[in-house]
Amino acid sequence: MTKPLILVSNDDGITSRGIRVLVDVMKQLGDVVVVAPDSPQSGMGHAITIGNTLRLSEEEIFQDVIAYKSSGTPADCVKLAKHYVLKDKKPDLIVSGINHGSNTSISVLYSGTMSAAIEGAIEGYPSIGFSLCDYSSNADFSHVENYVYEIAKQVLEFGIPKGVALNVNFPPKRNEPLKGIKICRQARAKWQEDFEERYDPNGRKYFWMAGNFVNFDKGEDNDEWAIANNYAAVVPCQFDMTAHHAIAQINNDWDWENLKASL
């Protein structure tokens, strides 16, 4: 029986601890190929490289796994994997992570981890982004490995809707085991930024972005609630950003006669 082909990428870079954990787990499920950035690409969102060179080289980093590092973004890595590394082979699953840090709520828009997964969904492949809500380079992943395995296994066996990528976030390791999995929605929250004005040694002004994450959501069906209550949060995401509910409102509320007359 042919094993599933699983493409692994991330945004923390090919040498990160999180991707090593993810590769080890995926090797239990299928044949693994890695294409990941050669350096950290956190916060890159769905950026792609245009007007610059893209470099790709094979690396002997993981035992018994073909791996490439790229100078590009996470989305670039998935594109390079499809068009160059895998060529005529189609992955059965694309997984990204395990990210060092949270990608809940609005952070999904900024996340390089999730952009790799969403790029996979754009191409029509089942895709998952995994994140651990612990920013430490020495983060403990031991409590999430079985969950990563089981979630990926479920996707391989039962699939997910076309054009959907799963955003999976885990709480940091605590004194008690995880309570389980919550399939939930993205919390209504945002970053409230503050820009600190600073000066470099030459007296030139620059700015350093700081700020705090603010959760406005009081519901118990969202990813922030799940993480706070020691559940793994699974949010199905889509790349179609059309506000479908707004189409009828705009059509009904705008003064189309005056608009036409003024054109």
Binding site members for a divalent metal cation: 11-12, 42, 99
Residues that constitute the known binding site: 11-12, 42, 99
Q: Give the residue carrying structure tokens 């706070």.
A: 228
Backbone angles phi, psi at 233, to 5 degrees: -105, 125
What is the DSSP code string of 9-76? E-SS-TT-HHHHHHHHHHTTTSEEEEEEESS--TT-TT----SS---EEEE--STT-EEEEESS-HHH
Burial 152-176 (b: 16+ CB within 10 A, else e): beebeeeebeeebbbbbbbbbbeee
Strand 232-238 vs strand 164-170: parallel, antiparallel, or unpaired?
antiparallel
Q: For residue 78, which amino acid is it?
A: V
C-alpha span between 185 and 105 (Å, rounded): 8
3-state class (DSSP) for residue 156: helix
C-alpha span between 135 and 139 (Å, rounded): 7
